[in-house]
Amino acid sequence: MSFVTKLRNLATMPTFPILLCLCATHGLNDLLQAVVNAMYPMLKADLHLSFGQIGIITLVYQLSASIFQPVVGYVFDRKPFVMSLPAGMASTTIGIVIFSFATSLTGILISVFMIGLGSSTLHPEASRITSLAGRPRRGVAQSIFQVGGNFGSSLGPLLVALIVAPHNRRYVLWFLIFSTLAFVVLRPVCKWYREYLSQLHSTKGTEVSHAKLPLSPRMTIFTICVIIVLIFSKYVYIASLSSYYTFYLIDKFGVSVSQSQIYLFIYVASTALGTLVGGPFGDRYGRKPVIWISILGTAPFSLLLPHVNLPLTIILSFCAGFMLSSAFPAILLYAQELLPTKLGMISGLFFGFAFGVGGVASAMLGDFADKFGIETVYNMCAYMPLLGIVAALLPNLKNKNI
């Protein structure tokens, strides 16, 4: 069945408007989250920061956006909270306001912590609600949800280049328009979720609690370890692109800050396209082949990127972003199928681990760039996608329609 046919079938479902709202919410949230990375060049100049301090900012942001995710997922799996998504957006909104006015590194760290905390709430909860609302077509539903986030991430740097870069950091306050839109879009989601929980309570939730695990406990643990290695390889390389790509372009090719933001937009847009492709291909050919090809297939582009001119750099970064991003919907759905009774916790675990790896990697790469130069970072990270070979160890799951 083609993606268009699956999408058409999905559109006939009563919950399709809810899925669109979740997609829009994910997009608006990640648009606001993308402001942090996109503002790094201005932030570095305003506060006279080193690459190491930029890495610390990323570390605090990524850790707050990661370590709380499995906790949030676990808590709300056990005790669902209808207003969890608006609460997360409120934290992000507060962080954006502080970010606009902060005049010290401490203030910036507080702001990015609040922004990351909002992300920690939204990702596991919205992903779990997407899985609930998207049954029985979870693969395409999850791709729609993920592509919203990628689209928001790609739009954020472009809007920063157009709205903030020509002026000053106070213009980040204009992004509160998007947080206001997110609160509006969340209203029907909260209403549907309240009705869903009421219906689930009346039936005592037997459908989810009796779901059968596809693998033995020992094999499940082994498989999770393999997925962790894959996420590590994927997000270390992504950290080099998302946090330092603009600096790399400015340092090596002498482009302006505004131009670097536009090139960053092109890279992040490629991740949106890759996400849209990854889910449907996983439905059709299985999660394992998509995961394997996506990560390992990035290696030719990453290995060439540090050795080419500006036009080829933009093309190769687009190809690398497209290949890598196509893996995440497959990884997330594979993990959810691995533990179908813990949708929120497993979503939070892998979203959180991905953010955490990115944060630690950004901090270490920032210090490395200060000592050895930004080009050395890209030469070193180019080999990370080769770890995708371990995807061959993933078992083929039979239970694909939970």
List the chain domain ranges.
Answer: 14-393
| Per-residue confidence in pLDDT tens, the chain, 402 aa | 555 665 566 667 778 899 899 999 999 999 998 888 788 888 888 888 888 888 888 888 877 877 788 888 888 877 888 899 999 999 999 999 999 998 899 999 999 999 999 988 888 888 889 888 877 666 677 778 878 887 887 788 788 888 888 888 889 999 999 999 999 999 999 999 999 888 877 765 444 445 577 888 889 889 988 988 888 888 888 888 877 888 889 989 999 877 887 888 888 778 778 877 776 777 777 778 888 889 999 999 999 999 999 999 999 999 999 998 888 778 877 887 888 777 777 777 776 777 677 767 877 888 888 888 888 888 889 999 999 999 889 998 754 444
Question: Sign of torsion, CA 357 363 368 373?
Answer: positive
Q: What local confidence, expressed as pLDDT, does residue 289 receive?
A: 87
Q: What local confidence, expressed as pLDDT, does residue 87 receive?
A: 93
Q: Looking at the domain that runs over 14-393, which CATH code has it been given?
A: 1.20.1250.20
d(CA 87, CA 319): 36
Q: What local confidence, expressed as pLDDT, does residue 4 receive?
A: 63
Q: What is the pTM of this model?
A: 0.69
Q: Report how far apart the first and last C-alpha atoms of the chain are (Å, whole number).
A: 18
Closest CA to 99 of 86, 85, 114: 114
DSSP output for 161-177: IIIITTS-GGGGGGGHH
- What single letter denotes the amino acid at residue 275? T
Counting every residue written for the chain, the total comes to 402
The whole-angstrom distance between residue 69's C-alpha and the CA centroid of its chain comes to 12
d(CA 309, CA 201): 60
Residue partners of 160: CB distance under 8 A and separation at least 6? 34, 35, 38, 39, 172, 261
d(CA 276, CA 329): 9
3-state secondary structure of 135: coil
Residue 143 tokens read as 């791709």
